[in-house]
Amino acid sequence: MTMKAIVLAAIVSVSASAAAAEGIYIGGSVGKSSLNGNYDWVTTTSRGTFDGIDSLKGAGVYLTGYIGTRGLELSEGTTLGAELSFSMFDTEAAGEVQLGFNNGAIRLDSTIDLKAMLFQDISADTTLYFGAGLTQGSFIQSYELIGIGGVSGTHDFSSTGSVISIGVEHALNDTWSLRGDITYRAYGSVTNPTTTRIVVKDTFGVSGHSDTSVSIGLTWSF
């Protein structure tokens, strides 16, 4: 079973259990995300092989929808739960390299997060929360090759990694709450298929890529 299948199976499991549990909540948020990483490249010609790593940075906005549950009380004011979220991004990191191509970019398209949650009440209407778990990001890598036989194109790929978050939630009334959080995701390295242009072969990949997101949203509790 692939990692993507495992994550999706866990998502279905958490969603099903949340539907039957106490302390269920749903919500949505909007925020800003920054993407960092390395654009790895290898160019093979009749004169030899050349390679390099170029840093990429970028930022954009994103939207998130989530469902979760607070179900296991550890002590008074401290509970455990789980949260599933899906985010759509407009976040791109761009940069240039000096050999073989220019204008390489990586776009973060969407993420699925599955987190264990710890909630700590700090007052009658304010709660701190912490989350940690798995994430799967969907990316689009673009390239524009220059020189003889120059071409351009894109590769779609996914990468699984880890996610952590910290936030605060303030109750507006019995059902609605305002919340804000910071989320960090780190993804695994990916090597994409080789592109051939006449007698030159180019292979591109990404490594060390991560995103940091800050958001604010509304939560509705059942």
The amino acid that residue 138 corresponds to is: S
The pLDDT, as a whole number, for residue 99 is 45
Joined tokens for residue 65: 């929808």
For residue 132, give its domain range. 3-221
What is the CATH classification number for the domain harbouring 179? Answer: 2.40.160.20
Kindly report, residue by residue over 1-43, the tens digit of the pLDDT: 455 554 444 444 444 333 333 589 999 999 999 988 877 766 6
pLDDT > 90: what percent of the chain? 45
Q: DSSP letter for 172, please.
A: S
Joined tokens for residue 137: 């990001």
Q: Compute the distance between CA of residue 176 and CA of residue 170 in angstroms, rounded to an integer.
A: 9
Instruction: Out of 105-114, 160-169, 178-187, pick the least confident.
Output: 105-114
Tell which wins on pLDDT, 190 or 131: 131
Kindly report, residue by residue over 119-150, the tens digit of the pLDDT: 999 999 999 999 999 999 998 877 776 665 56
Q: Compute the distance between CA of residue 49 and CA of residue 148 in angstroms, rounded to an integer.
A: 17
The pLDDT, as a whole number, for residue 140 is 85
Cα-only R_g, the chain: 21
- Tell me how many domains the chain contains: 1
Q: DSSP letter for 77, please.
A: T
Alpha helices in the chain (DSSP H): 3-19
- The model's pTM is 0.79
